Amino acid sequence: MKRQNYPFTAIVGQELMKKALLLNAINPAIGGVLIKGEKGTAKSTAVRALADVLPPIEAVEGCTFRCDPAEPGLLCRDCLAKQRAGAELTAHTLRMRVVELPVNATEDRVVGTLDLEHAIAEGKKKFEPGILAEANRNILYVDEINLLDDHVVDVLLDAAAMGVNTVEREGVSVSHPAKFVLIGTMNPEEGDIRPQLLDRFGLSVEVIGEHEAAQRVEVIRRRLAYEANPEAFAAEYEQAQTALAEQLATARELLPQVRVADELLLKTADLSIALGVDGHRADITMLKTALTVAALAGRDEATAADLREAALLVLPHRMRRKPFEEATLDRDIVARVLGE
């Protein structure tokens, strides 16, 4: 029996975290989000609740990997073989979902396994899909990502960067599409995260508990109501959930049409230079995020305000820092560069 998720629209506060999750749901090309915060700040609740408002996708019917019929260059071997044989790839609509990766997952469980003996005996590749196959075109969620085995982290980074998972054994290899939005949550008190992984996240958010009494009371009231009767509680937010899902679907359709002026491109570059950000990933991610912020607001042109909002999500974890020093974003520099 499926447990009723806590409604996304019922979460009190944590607006920045919710915004970061919604932006990635609209535009997976942003590159995921890392949510850092103390225990009990709705990190896992928000990620799991996201599943209920994710826009639907078109996928090849019967495909294990939910291949996108609109992207022939990213078809799995089975879909590709059918297409080459002249068969029509029938599409159907699916809901995106959150796939959870256990912190103790082995490499085989993550990437899948290849039966070499079967390949030699039968002359056919026998592949048992792993979590990355499940995650294709979905959200891949890793709780306590800072505690994940280093080798598994490397596998995730490779798949996230390439959009493809390749399993090799004794010269036999199998590849399949693995495009997913990586969402990680962690409690900084339990250890830091590898710099190589940190920079791979498009956005980062730090969350803390509510400090206003009225807000904390509302958190308690809603949680008790949910635990007493999850279905009845969810029904109260059904209209808000539907409206949000429709807003996300509309934003996803609008996104390719959102324009950006050359002046805003220059401000993006100026901002990274002024803050001493390494590489170009921050610039590109800031622009993608600003465009998505505009689409979520229903506008077809990104503004300086959108870029500022994007900077607060994209830059904090990319600031240079000394050992044992927390990275901080100088908001005065952001305001000066953007002319605020």
* Residue 151 near residue 106 (C-beta atoms within 8 A): no
DSSP H/E element including 167: strand 164-169
**Burial call 108-145: b when 16+ CB within 10 Å, e when fewer:** ebbbbbbbeeebeeeeeeebebbbbbbbbbbbbbbbbb
Going by C-alpha positions, the residue among 282, 183, 204 that lies closest to residue 36 is 204
DSSP state of 199: T
Rounded-to-integer distance, Cα 183 and Cα 160, Å: 11
State the catalytic residues: 281
Asked if residue 137 lies in contact with residue 181, where contact means CB atoms within 8 angstroms, the answer is no
Backbone phi, psi, residue 308, to 5°: -60, -45
Going by their DSSP bridges, the two strands 164-169 and 112-115 should be labelled as unpaired
Torsion angle of C-alpha atoms 332, 35, 212, 217, degrees rounded to 10: 160
Task: Quote the longest CA-to-CA distance of the chain.
Answer: 69
Task: Give the three-class secondary structure for 2.
Answer: coil
Strands 126-129 and 112-115, sheet pairing = antiparallel
Please name the residue ranges forming H helices in 85-212.
107-111, 116-122, 131-135, 150-162, 195-198
